[in-house]
């Protein structure tokens, strides 16, 4: 690494609710084995018949994460976030009030759409029954900040809290906010990540009518194909990922082990179009360059990129242009884990941050599933066919979004005295 590398924050815990598993080892083993979590939705699911394929996360009942008296009208995105946060804090071995001052721990939880499903359900009740049909618990059940609020209430977190809502970059931006808070001295620990529950008919109809979704694949597991010449759209997914970021000295003082360090972040805005990326990839390139500068690294220090790679024609080519602009002919290994999980929208960046941290921790790079014939316009060093065993000193994760939001995160080896 470059001599000017800046201090980061160590990832001491992870909580995941994803289409390919919940525990970090289960999740990462599925990615490296090339297993798909993309299926046809079962009969009885609200979006059955509306989506050809989807990344369906495990069911989380309200009683699993909340007292029965508090489950009224709580949206699924909140339940997914609570389950992931509970697991992340348990994985970190951290109890608020025992291991950290409640005022020195923060929570930043992102979402793209928030409680859209709950809002739609209550809107139907209003149309059917008028004003009496609407639950008084609607707003505390579906507002975008309620995942962060519920996590803070449950665990007694009394420091900074926030909700990031920058579409498909939101989960990564929440993780970046965690590093900002720790570097600024505003927190010793940050619970950060993203959650999304978007597998319902209205969202499915909107993306279908926009011709954005993969279609026509007899086997749903083959439909998500980032960078492949045969790709024809992305696959909608749902889930949550929460990371516990910790000041290294704080983690060492309590004997906590780390997965990896978050050592840099970068952000930019395309200022180009509400839904389409800049074709030249310059906005995305700006975010990656900013992350490198923030980490005090050079492009040659990056050994792996977990690409945004959704499987759309325009997006994959624009990201390729950005990677080539930043790294030139000396391209790092690249893969997109959306081939296995689908696109989890506001949670995607957090899920992929976890995958990137695990790749650094294990020295194993997950392949891009279904990348059978790489698009010639996406001429990168793709990890495909099988996982690649390659220890890397630093790895970068990209997340890009409608509105032109771009976030890049950089992870390096854990700086704690013990590694997970």
Residues carrying an active site annotation: 168, 308, 343
CA geometry: angle 419, 344, 165, nearest 5 deg:
95
Q: Which structure tokens are listed for 247?
A: 């000041």
Give the separation between CA 190 and CA 178, rounded to whole angstroms.
Answer: 5
Give the separation between CA 161 and CA 155, rounded to whole angstroms.
Answer: 13
* Interaxial angle between packed helices 170-183 and 348-362, expressed in degrees from 0 to 180 and rounded to the nearest 10: 60
Where do the H-state alpha helices sit in 131-209?
138-142, 146-155, 170-183, 201-209
Give the separation between CA 323 and CA 276, rounded to whole angstroms.
Answer: 17
The secondary element (H helix, E strand) that includes residue 320 is: helix 313-327
Give the separation between CA 124 and CA 401, rounded to whole angstroms.
Answer: 30
Q: Which structure tokens are listed for 4?
A: 């000017």
3-state helix, strand, coil in the chain (%, to 5): 40, 20, 40
Q: What are phi and psi of 214, to 5 degrees?
A: -60, 145
Give the separation between CA 15 and CA 193, rounded to whole angstroms.
Answer: 9
The secondary element (H helix, E strand) that includes residue 305 is: strand 304-306
Task: Find all residues with CB under 8 Å of 317, minimum gap 6, and list them.
Answer: 279, 375, 377, 378
Give the separation between CA 163 and CA 37, rounded to whole angstroms.
Answer: 27
């Amino acid at each position: 690494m470059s001599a000017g590398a800046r201090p980061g924050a160590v990832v001491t815990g992870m909580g995941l609710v994803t289409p390919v598993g919940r525990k970090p080892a289960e999740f990462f083993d599925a990615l490296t084995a090339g297993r798909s979590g993309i299926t046809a939705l079962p009969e009885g699911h609200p979006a059955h018949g509306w989506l050809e394929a989807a990344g369906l996360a495990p069911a989380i009942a309200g009683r699993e994460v909340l007292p029965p008296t508090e489950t009224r009208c709580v949206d699924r995105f909140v339940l997914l976030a609570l389950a992931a946060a509970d697991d992340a804090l348990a994985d970190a071995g951290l109890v608020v009030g025992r291991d950290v001052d409640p005022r020195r721990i923060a929570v930043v939880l992102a979402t793209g759409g928030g409680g859209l499903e709950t809002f739609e359900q209550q809107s139907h009740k209003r149309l059917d029954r008028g004003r009496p049909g609407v639950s008084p618990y609607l707003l505390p059940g579906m507002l975008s900040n309620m995942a962060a609020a519920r996590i803070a209430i449950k665990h007694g977190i009394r420091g900074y809290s926030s909700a990031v809502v920058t579409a498909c970059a939101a989960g990564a931006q929440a993780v970046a906010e965690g590093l900002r808070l720790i570097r600024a001295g505003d927190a010793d620990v940050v619970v950060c990540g993203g959650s999304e529950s978007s597998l319902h008919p209205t969202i499915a109809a909107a993306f279908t009518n926009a011709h954005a979704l993969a279609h026509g694949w007899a086997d749903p597991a083959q439909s998500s194909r980032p960078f492949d010449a045969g790709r024809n759209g992305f696959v909608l997914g749902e889930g949550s990922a929460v990371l516990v970021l910790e000041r290294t000295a704080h983690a060492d003082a309590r004997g906590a082990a780390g997965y990896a360090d978050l050592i840099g972040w970068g952000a930019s805005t395309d200022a180009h179009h509400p839904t389409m990326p800049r074709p030249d990839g310059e906005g995305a390139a700006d975010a990656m360059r900013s992350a490198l500068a923030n980490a005090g690294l050079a492009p040659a220090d990056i050994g792996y990129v977990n690409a945004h790679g959704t499987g759309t024609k325009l997006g994959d080519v624009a990201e390729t242009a950005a990677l080539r602009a930043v790294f030139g002919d000396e391209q790092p290994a690249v893969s997109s884990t959306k081939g296995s999980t689908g696109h989890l929208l506001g949670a995607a960046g957090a899920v992929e941050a976890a995958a990137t941290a695990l790749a650094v921790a294990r020295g194993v790079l997950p392949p891009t599933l279904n990348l059978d014939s790489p698009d010639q316009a996406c001429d990168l060093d793709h990890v495909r066919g099988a996982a690649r065993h390659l220890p890397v000193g630093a790895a970068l994760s990209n997340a890009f979004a409608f509105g032109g939001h771009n976030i890049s995160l950089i992870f390096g080896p854990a700086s704690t005295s013990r590694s997970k």
